[in-house]
Amino acid sequence: MISVGIVGGTGYTGVELLRLLVTHPKVDLKMVTSRSEAGKLVADTYPNLRGFTEVYFTEPDVKTLSTCDLVFFATPNGTAMKMVPELLEQGVRVIDLAADFRLRDAAEWQQWYGMPHACEDVLAEAVYGLPEINRDAVRTAKVVANPGCYPTAVGLGFLPLIENGLIEDQHLVADAKSGVSGAGRGANVAALLCEASESFKPYAVEGHRHLPEIRQTLCGISGHSVGLTFVPHLVPMIRGIEATLYAVLKKTDVDLQALYEERYKNEPFVDVLPKGTMPETRSVRGANVCRISVFQPQGGDTVVVSSVIDNLVKGAAGQAIQNMNIMFELEETAGLNRPALMP
Amino acid sequence: MISVGIVGGTGYTGVELLRLLVTHPKVDLKMVTSRSEAGKLVADTYPNLRGFTEVYFTEPDVKTLSTCDLVFFATPNGTAMKMVPELLEQGVRVIDLAADFRLRDAAEWQQWYGMPHACEDVLAEAVYGLPEINRDAVRTAKVVANPGCYPTAVGLGFLPLIENGLIEDQHLVADAKSGVSGAGRGANVAALLCEASESFKPYAVEGHRHLPEIRQTLCGISGHSVGLTFVPHLVPMIRGIEATLYAVLKKTDVDLQALYEERYKNEPFVDVLPKGTMPETRSVRGANVCRISVFQPQGGDTVVVSSVIDNLVKGAAGQAIQNMNIMFELEETAGLNRPALMP
Amino acid sequence: MISVGIVGGTGYTGVELLRLLVTHPKVDLKMVTSRSEAGKLVADTYPNLRGFTEVYFTEPDVKTLSTCDLVFFATPNGTAMKMVPELLEQGVRVIDLAADFRLRDAAEWQQWYGMPHACEDVLAEAVYGLPEINRDAVRTAKVVANPGCYPTAVGLGFLPLIENGLIEDQHLVADAKSGVSGAGRGANVAALLCEASESFKPYAVEGHRHLPEIRQTLCGISGHSVGLTFVPHLVPMIRGIEATLYAVLKKTDVDLQALYEERYKNEPFVDVLPKGTMPETRSVRGANVCRISVFQPQGGDTVVVSSVIDNLVKGAAGQAIQNMNIMFELEETAGLNRPALMP
Amino acid sequence: MISVGIVGGTGYTGVELLRLLVTHPKVDLKMVTSRSEAGKLVADTYPNLRGFTEVYFTEPDVKTLSTCDLVFFATPNGTAMKMVPELLEQGVRVIDLAADFRLRDAAEWQQWYGMPHACEDVLAEAVYGLPEINRDAVRTAKVVANPGCYPTAVGLGFLPLIENGLIEDQHLVADAKSGVSGAGRGANVAALLCEASESFKPYAVEGHRHLPEIRQTLCGISGHSVGLTFVPHLVPMIRGIEATLYAVLKKTDVDLQALYEERYKNEPFVDVLPKGTMPETRSVRGANVCRISVFQPQGGDTVVVSSVIDNLVKGAAGQAIQNMNIMFELEETAGLNRPALMP
């Protein structure tokens, strides 16, 4: 059994970690911290967990956390980087679900997150935890930067095309749409039901923090700089991300369906849909899977990819557990092998 | 392993049975029938099942179904009663998720369902599968009538009060609210998103088919006739039922909280909430649990009970599997022990 | 033209007042105050008003407000009572959409609202603005207490039964359901889309502030004390209230349909639906109308009434404008005669 | 007063026409036809219209319709073209809200709509009713082809860029998203609340009927063939379309904000938002307006435009009434000058 702690267990990624971990066959959930809820029963905040855990929220404390094999951070950006160095010293491994270790370049990190990075040396050795491209590095990582939700959906969608040099990559377009849980559980007017339901809108068109993260992933694959326009939108639903990707093909006679199926045939959590099938976010609700379809409308020179994930699962907590399974040499699907809830 | 067949696997209770059965540790899902979809891969209709089952829909056929230990009927009312006698002859046990075997009185059944009953003898021996009152009978039943969704929520809510003779029972009120999945997956205008979302309404105020079923349950508990007004409402959401129950107390000094906690303390799937907590349907989404709170507003002589279930789980497929577990002497919680999906 | 000011124009009742007033043929909207948004263009906060008003939010100031004929308060409870006396001195008439002047008994007001009342003398002369029972008094009122949303739906629903002494009135039940806009536009976790959508729950079962207000209305009609259990619920939608009312009939042979039609035949904003029709909240979305149906299930001794309104219109801003029209001897329907938005 | 008839009044565009026409100051609504509902009161099908019209649905009949000055067709594709020639002979003018007269090329029409066109001569003289580009032609038109919802949002969004030759136009991308009312009021499983809510998906990626219509509009503006990839998506809400448009700029130093403001400054129903503002579909709910923002992320060479409309209003019934107003020389905004319903 792996003994596990969670720092920041009250947000949506925190409770999703809890939902998945309480039935994980190899995990002993030892502690969940929350400054605001310390002393309260976790299951009182999240009644869905009644009967599954008797854990109480506690104050975050490095000493106590050091008794764990693994600590997940489900905290706001900028928190993990302050505690991680000390935990590493104690031999604890870490998966950060926030953005602290996602960008390799500390200067770029500072530019997008508005504060200096607190531990550039750790940043340098952190592994970007997208198993479909970094599985081997994850295995031995001390710190895994769990990818952002949009970067997961967009990255997996573009991957086969870029790996194979099939597209013009200076004017890529990623039009992405997310459910409201991506905004977190903080009280803010824009995420109220009366503001966000029965409406649809783009946001952060001028520049979203996931843009440099996606670019880093795509450049990592291509080996050179790529040009990307990324526009996120808010969908009136709780969970789910859909990304529609557009690129101009260098040649129009490649069997794209076969390419995608081949690339992902051994991936337990990427599902290439049969030709002509439209991915729906509900088909992945609560499940750690990315479903992808690839299209070449009217046989022309534009390729369209649609990629869906549950932003809280394959886009956050589920992928974190997938990374944990890899790091601790468990079955990669342990605790994650459940169908989506549909309808 | 129990070998299992499902007749009528394309509706919402059918797919929910599939979702729960494909990961049940003791079930071998042998066949799923559907006249309309025969020949098609189940996972093509329900992409959430991709990777979990390779079963194809087949034509319903008693001979093939007879090779199963247990057959679930997730069919429209009036279908099961035509096939069940033959299956029983072959030694197959049956759980009917429709209404064919729910009312003990064949004349009353005919009155509410608009057709004569096809096998009154089977009706006579069928067991009403609400484990919290009929567990022992379920164990040896050949045919289990799986309760309706409203009757489950209302029955479990009133049970402790009526068992103990604490309320005036000639003017009970059950104001119940259901998500739209209760209307099934048939194409009908009233269940369109554009008709049912952003709106709330009562329906069938003059008389709903679940009224005689609830009455039968309550009378069975009290030992005499009870008076009940039951008004169902449609909620703009997919899953969930909440029933708010009202009755006048015979005496006002009973500790109702303790009464409910005591009554359900050994029930794996009934959860009495801490005093003052409001049940929310989302706390049971996808889970086989009924959460209940009891209130006595301002200490007066009216008791208010709020009871929530997922209509597709504890109100249908989950309860059916709970009954299966009891019938086949498995752990009662086998395959059902998962937290609700929240948010 | 009536010159009008609004104090507290940033909440949902405020913007709804604005939406209706900017096209009202007899209103000159002079000022809208908001401490938090002062200096900002109203149409920047509410883009639906772009092109309809050039007004800026200003600081609330009695002197400036005194230049208006009428001031609406769309403020939190406890604000209006501090400013109203001074406005009255200046000859300004007032409609308060909050609760400050709704309960006649200052002690009861203090008990439910947790603060002493600031102007009991004004309270004594304020008129409860439910036109269907108080039209004449509203005409000459200096201060109108605009009714709460639940009290409007419940009051209009019970009115004909109580006026005619047809029901046992010591155990009335009002099971009411509201869209989330009833919770206002404040940032609070419980009203987030991810908390409130895809779920249904009761709240404040032990006692809601609208309980004494409804009781006061019902007692005013009956001339004696009545017993009422009132349970509000939260519906995953933006607008709308449905109240289902239950009572035991003293005699079962009254033509209830005719009674309701007769009572409301001259009311421009109460619509008794044809027998057997179910009211839907969407049929009143954005419209100043209360639609009502009355049922006597199976011809028994229980009467069931279903009453729907848009909580922001007939339950708040629309009713306030109806009161304004009456106070200023305009056509009662002026500015309000628009069909609901459906679908 | 213009005397008006509607053919096919039971769908969502039909009821929206009714909602807007019953309060139009210059319209006498004489008849509404529906084969399926003939003999029924319109307000029984659409209770929001109770009190606003006493019209009954009648059988469609050219002779009776010929007594109108104007007939709207809110029928399925292929219906209007069979009745229009006869109406024209009688001197009746026509606005078709379906697609029968939208494509100038009859062969292309047949290819996309799967049937030969029934009156190519009428097609030849029909005017495409996008007032922002065709106002003068609409004024004298006998038959107006009311634009599709997507083509309206996409066309108005691209218009200023293409008119001024500012973009590379061989790889335009239009990523569009629509509420479910776009699918109409027919009973189909995919539009059920339980299928379409809490989910997001693309559809018709291989080719949607609005593609040739959009292409025709864009080519008409540019004067040459353009290359467009158009991907529609389904949003879990009732009303609203958002289109996000992507193109590569020929030069990056044009003031795009000023360009858009200038182009639309005299248009009553196109609202260019202040720089940096994100359009939301709810800001146009129920209103006949298109709100547009233009962005140049990070000052690069890609322009992003976001355009929102209510698909039932500026995307259908409202635009039809705008066209009617132009055709009959009324104030262009008559009957349409109402703020959107928000929240």
Q: How close C20 comes to chain D (CA, Å)?
A: 9
| CA D136/CA C146 separation, integer angstroms | 50
Instruction: List the helix and strand counts (H, then E) for chain C.
Output: 12, 14
- Find the CB nearest B192 among D191, D198, D236: D191
CB atoms near residue B128 (< 10 Å): 23
- Find the CB nearest D297 among A201, A205, A343: A205
Q: How close A198 comes to chain C (CA, Å)?
A: 9
Strands D241-248 and B143-145: unpaired
Quick check: D201 and A173 CB within 8 A?
no
Largest CA distance in chain C: 62
Q: In what order do the strands lie in the sheet with D143-145?
A: D57-58, D27-33, D2-7, D70-73, D93-96, D143-145, D127-128
**Mean local confidence (pLDDT), A91-103:** 98
Contact list, A242 vs chain D (CB under 8 Å): 200-202, 233
Q: Are C13 and C97 in contact (CB under 8 A)?
A: yes
Burial class (CB in 10 A: 0-12, 13-18, 19+), A107: exposed
Q: Are C308 and C291 in contact (CB under 8 A)?
A: yes
Q: In what order do the strands lie in the sheet with A172-178?
A: A201-202, A228-234, A172-178, A241-248, A302-309, A290-295, A270-272
- The crossing angle, in degrees rounded to 10, of helices D317-327 and D131-140 is 50
Q: How close A342 comes to chain B (CA, Å)?
A: 7
Residue C209 pLDDT greater than 90, yes or no: yes
The β-bridge partners of B162 are: none
Contact list, D179 vs chain B (CB under 8 Å): 194
Helical spans, DSSP H, in C186-342: 193-196, 210-222, 256-264, 318-327
- Total beta-carbon pairs less than 8 A apart between chain B and chain D: 58
Nearest to A238 by CA among D192, B179, B341, C187: B341
* Subunit partners of chain A (3 or more CB pairs within 8 A): B, C, D
Amino acid at D240: G
Quick check: D205 and A278 CB within 8 A?
yes
Q: Are B289 and B309 in contact (CB under 8 A)?
A: yes
Residues of chain B with pLDDT under 50: none
| CA B337/CA B57 separation, integer angstroms | 28
**pLDDT attached to residue D9:** 84
**φ, ψ dihedrals at B122, nearest 5°:** -65, -40
Q: Looking up tokens 């009821």, which residue turns up?
A: D15
| CA C263/CA A245 separation, integer angstroms | 61
Domains of chain B listed by start with CATH number = 2-146+316-327 (3.40.50.720), 150-309 (3.30.360.10)
Active site members of B:
149
Does D219 lie at the interface with A, CB-CB under 8 angstroms?
no
**Mean local confidence (pLDDT), A229-250:** 98
DSSP state of D146: P
User: CB within 8 A of C183, min separation 6: which ones?
Assistant: C190, C191, C234
Check C119, C149, C219, C290 and give the catalytic one.
C149
What percent of chain C has pLDDT above 90? 99
Nearest to B232 by CA among D139, C175, D261: C175
| CA D176/CA A202 separation, integer angstroms | 11
Q: Are A175 and A233 in contact (CB under 8 A)?
A: yes
Q: How close D246 comes to chain C (CA, Å)?
A: 24
Residue A8 pLDDT greater than 90, yes or no: yes
Contact list, C193 vs chain A (CB under 8 Å): 180, 191-193, 195-197, 236, 238
Side-chain-side CA neighbours of residue D256 (13 Å): 30
Mean predicted lDDT score pLDDT of chain D: 97
**pLDDT attached to residue C9:** 85
Q: Looking up tokens 């309480």, which residue turns up?
A: A22
Q: In what order do the strands lie in the sheet with B27-33?
A: B57-58, B27-33, B2-7, B70-73, B93-96, B143-145, B127-128
Tokens of residue C233, six digits: 């619920």
User: CB within 8 A of D89, min separation 6: which ones?
Assistant: none
Does B306 lie at the interface with C, CB-CB under 8 angstroms?
yes
pLDDT tens digits, one per residue of A37-68: 999 999 999 999 999 999 999 999 999 999 99
**pLDDT attached to residue B9:** 84
pLDDT tens digits, one per residue of D133-151: 999 999 999 999 999 999 9
pLDDT tens digits, one per residue of C245-296: 999 999 999 999 999 999 999 999 999 999 999 999 999 999 999 999 999 9
* Subunit partners of chain B (3 or more CB pairs within 8 A): A, C, D
Q: Are B42 and B15 in contact (CB under 8 A)?
A: no
Does D185 lie at the interface with B, CB-CB under 8 angstroms?
yes
The β-bridge partners of C174 are: C230, C245
User: Which one of A194, A234, A342 would you mutate to disrupt binding with C, by most C Cβ within 10 Å of its Cβ?
Assistant: A194
**φ, ψ dihedrals at D307, nearest 5°:** -130, 125
Helix (H, G, I), strand (E, B) or coil at C143: strand
Q: Is the peptide bond before B131 cis (omega within 30 degrees of 0)?
A: no
Q: Are D42 and D32 in contact (CB under 8 A)?
A: yes
Give how far the C-alpha of residue C326 lies from the chain's centroid of Cα atoms, to the nearest Å.
16
Q: Are A328 and A69 in contact (CB under 8 A)?
A: yes
The β-bridge partners of C161 are: none
Provide the strand spans (E) within D8-61. Answer: 27-33, 57-58
Contact list, A195 vs chain C (CB under 8 Å): 185, 193
| CA A286/CA B123 separation, integer angstroms | 39
**Mean local confidence (pLDDT), C325-338:** 98
**φ, ψ dihedrals at C3, nearest 5°:** -95, 130
**pLDDT attached to residue A9:** 84
Amino acid at C92: V
Rg (C-alpha) for chain A, rounded Å, is 20
CA of B303: which chain C residue's CA is closest? C229
CA of D16: which chain C residue's CA is closest? C342
User: CB within 8 A of C260, min separation 6: which ones?
Assistant: C160, C272, C292, C294
A68 is catalytic: no
Does C312 lie at the interface with A, CB-CB under 8 angstroms?
no
**Mean local confidence (pLDDT), D76-83:** 97
Side-chain-side CA neighbours of residue B108 (13 Å): 14
| CA B157/CA B170 separation, integer angstroms | 17
